[in-house]
Amino acid sequence: MALPEKIRLGDLLVQQKLITQDQLQFALDQQQQQKSGRRKLGRLLVENAFVTEEDICRTLSTQLGIPYIDLKTFKVNEELVRLLKEEQARKCQAIVLENRDNVLLVGMADPTDRSALDQLRSILFRKFEIAVVAERRLLECIDNAYLRSQRILGLD
């Protein structure tokens, strides 16, 4: 799997007329003012109600030519989810969704994160394709899948 090209999300959203140049500049200014680490631009755009997380996912999906999976309606297979340990899933912001002919479909909140892709490659030891998923829904799925696993194992 080739690594996707890093893209400038704000420029894409302006091109798609989902946000204005002024809204983009406002969020970029907020990002620069952050003293304790830089927050992701997409998160700031969503928090300011300029765009929805789903808008961002659909834009990335179209630009990268990868599917967008809506985890609100997707049936998560907990056995596949556990191919990643909870801390790996959270660190990479990724979840294994399907196994199609021994090729995994992995949902990622940021499919352009090269570091996370490299980590997934070294953890999974098999071919995988990526899809974009909303971060909020991804974290909910991770919470639910690993919480249920802990309950089944009697670890809660």
Tally Cβ neighbours within 10 Å of residue 63: 17
CB contact at 8 A, 111 and 64: yes
In the chain the domains, ranked by start, together with CATH numbers, are 9-51 (no CATH), 78-153 (3.30.300.160)
Tally Cβ neighbours within 10 Å of residue 155: 9
In this predicted model, what pLDDT tens digit does every residue of 91-145 receive, in sequence order?
999 999 999 998 999 999 999 899 999 999 999 988 999 999 999 999 999 998 8
In this predicted model, what pLDDT tens digit does every residue of 68-90 receive, in sequence order?
999 999 998 988 998 999 999 99
- Name the band, by pLDDT with cuts 50, 70 and 90, for residue 3: very low
Q: What is the pTM of this model?
A: 0.81
Q: SS in 3 state form for 25-77?
A: HHHHHHHHHCCCCCCCHHHHHHHCCCCCHHHHHHHHHHHHCCCECCCCCCCCC
